Structure 1
């Protein structure tokens, strides 16, 4: 019975999206987090965490680098595309004003984590506390255009995506041997601390009006080309980083369940990006990839050393590679992830996928 209801709701969504208004009338979309979802905010900062030079953006519609850590579209772009919305502009972009603000905003910044000391080595980045401050500032700016009540409705009805956690391990706890955080916490205690801090972030998002929030877990951090290059001898995923992911992701889902119960509503949706990634990491050929170990753009073992630059090795067909650069999925891999966000089973999306949320919303 549940499966039949799910199929019915998913079918309804196809009709809803087909009939949905496009452009300015579509719902707003707000994005928070790190380089997996940054649309170019770091272009406007003095930071080393940048993707504003070729070959980044080689498959973007303009074929130019935009600040996205991708060969083309990233996850927020593809969600926007699927929903018939404009992809939100980086909040710091000068053109993000007037009518453009009503589409929402992308506050994400490459290098950030749940903790404000994560990514310190990148210098100027927009830590999550600052991203939330910008969200408040955004609402003040929009209120001056359309009034407080209309702004409240815009935010309440918006879709929100937040992607944090990976950098708290890769660019904090495991950044160097005997890092400050690894001396302070055992791994299980560190994970519990991260979850408690993440809960505060999500609660603040709710307090600021977010009511439809996709929260992604970490991917298989030990399997990305950068970690294979540094920690793997025969191509196996790095054990400690996989252990970290296996501790973090279930606790994140449990925390989200608890938070939803506390709020009396399914405000937050947990996206199991670990399993979404592992599907094509463990069996790349089934998804049309030739490899999930070697990055398309990079150098050294697995093309996993250093940054993707004009001097890097570059694969001729990005659709054959699960990873674009040492850390980030290719556009094709991002499309697989977004498909699961929309239609994935309870293995991938909890308590329900985005299609089911939007279908239910249309009947209320």
Structure 2
């Protein structure tokens, strides 16, 4: 357990951990001022050096000790393995999923290797967030954050009903409240609130509300209830409620991704395209959804503060791949690496599926999900891309700005 050490400057609080070979500290200020900053910088350095000498070891600071917490909500694009613990058909816990993950074993991630949250964690200098349902998520691991995402979910609670037991958004938010209770028990209510307030949150929703709800079957319940423009307006209004709830629960930096070009996924090409062109109706759905979501984020930022909600243009990033895969070193953006049928787009990736030899040449790993290499390109745009890809600022700017005020 970390021990709280008093600093010579009362504005600083240091949480230090000792072991047989290591002494590490993370220090944070309550209300910094220029004068305090200069005084605290010199005195904290002296304090840490003296403490290291006292235990007879060289002071070492690991990045993960000081990284901000990271929370993930959403669907299979960002699920780190929660569905492994559920009785559901939406799962990625058998080979060849995970073939290029460091363990070379399936983890529940819908990828050949790391997914978007893993790569963002690398940029944060943190270890990957654990699935909330993992029994390993306890004690000090809670300080890293948690992944609440579940494959198959959507904005609406009726999305993904065919997958049976999945963590719908209402339950993901319930679990987030439950997590905060565990965190408060570990570090106290005040520190728990601070950790959540300075955390980064990623939420990815919307795709399943089209492919696994509105367009799931001809004349689906939702398609009979709503024309497409009205349906889009409805789910965007419901998404807004989810985002407001996250703010009410303490989140102040929320990266919100729109949908990709849904009509270009291998699954949709296999089912709806005769000539390999992206399916027009799904493209129309994405073209209606993403601008409306962006406007909602602008409204929320006007209400809660600029930069609270960061809009990531997943459509633009993915469509760049589709338009010119060779520009990114990919051989194809139409065929999945693993699968069966046209474009390898039918069903899940299984041990009996076709499997490409070089995953780095494919944008899609399976019928819907990117390869690790594609995920890395996506995150690089989120981190340092222009306003065409992420607004009102990219994540690198956010992290630098927040570090200046920490």
TM-score for both structures, normalised by structure 1 = 0.94
1:85-138 per-residue CA deviation (whole Å, 9 max, x = no partner) reads 111000000111111111000000000000000000000000011000000000
Determine the structure 2 residue equivalent to 1:28: 69
Determine the structure 1 residue equivalent to 2:204: 163
Structure 2 residue runs of 5 or longer lacking an equivalent are: 1-60
- Answer yes or no: is 1:107 the counterpart of 2:151: no
After TM superposition, the structure 1 = structure 2 runs for residues 273-312 of structure 1, keeping only pairs within 5 Å, are 273-312=314-353
Determine the structure 2 residue equivalent to 1:332: 373
Contact 1:22/1:84, CA 8 A, preserved across alignment = yes
Structure 1 vs Structure 2 CA RMSD:
1.1
C-alpha distance in 1, partners of 2:404/2:372? Answer: 33
Contact 1:24/1:102, CA 8 A, preserved across alignment = no
- Answer yes or no: is 1:79 the counterpart of 2:120: yes
Determine the structure 2 residue equivalent to 1:211: 252
Q: 1:345 aligns with which of 377, 382, 386?
A: 386
3-state SS of the aligned residue for 2:102?
coil
C-alpha distance in 2, partners of 1:56/1:286? Answer: 26
Larger Rg: 2
C-alpha distance in 1, partners of 2:99/2:325? Answer: 22
Determine the structure 2 residue equivalent to 1:90: 131
1:225-276 per-residue CA deviation (whole Å, 9 max, x = no partner) reads 0000000011000000000000000110000000110113320000000001
Displacement of 1:361: 1.6
C-alpha distance in 2, partners of 1:310/1:360? Answer: 46
Determine the structure 2 residue equivalent to 1:12: none
Q: 2:224 aligns with which of 158, 183, 189?
A: 183
Contact 1:225/1:327, CA 8 A, preserved across alignment = yes
Contact 1:222/1:237, CA 8 A, preserved across alignment = yes
Aligned positions, number: 346
Contact 2:68/2:124, CA 8 A, preserved across alignment = no
3-state SS of the aligned residue for 2:336?
coil
After TM superposition, the structure 1 = structure 2 runs for residues 38-53 of structure 1, keeping only pairs within 5 Å, are 38-53=79-94
C-alpha distance in 2, partners of 1:132/1:267? Answer: 18
3-state SS of the aligned residue for 1:201?
helix
Determine the structure 2 residue equivalent to 1:68: 109
C-alpha distance in 2, partners of 1:80/1:38? Answer: 14
Determine the structure 1 residue equivalent to 2:35: none
Q: 1:148 aligns with which of 185, 189, 211?
A: 189
Q: 1:262 aligns with which of 287, 298, 303?
A: 303
C-alpha distance in 2, partners of 1:21/1:95? Answer: 21
C-alpha distance in 1, partners of 2:76/2:404? Answer: 35
Determine the structure 2 residue equivalent to 1:354: 395
Contact 2:348/2:366, CA 8 A, preserved across alignment = yes
Determine the structure 1 residue equivalent to 2:262: 221
Contact 1:46/1:124, CA 8 A, preserved across alignment = yes
Work out which structure has the larger RCO, using CA pairs closer than 8 Å and 6 or more positions apart in sequence: 1
Displacement of 1:161: 0.2
3-state SS of the aligned residue for 1:162?
strand
C-alpha distance in 2, partners of 1:61/1:164? Answer: 27
Determine the structure 2 residue equivalent to 1:7: none
Structure 1 residue runs of 5 or longer lacking an equivalent are: 1-19
3-state SS of the aligned residue for 1:31?
strand
- Answer yes or no: is 1:136 the counterpart of 2:177: yes
C-alpha distance in 1, partners of 2:404/2:175? Answer: 33
Which of the pair is proportionally richer in strand? 2
Contact 1:163/1:215, CA 8 A, preserved across alignment = yes
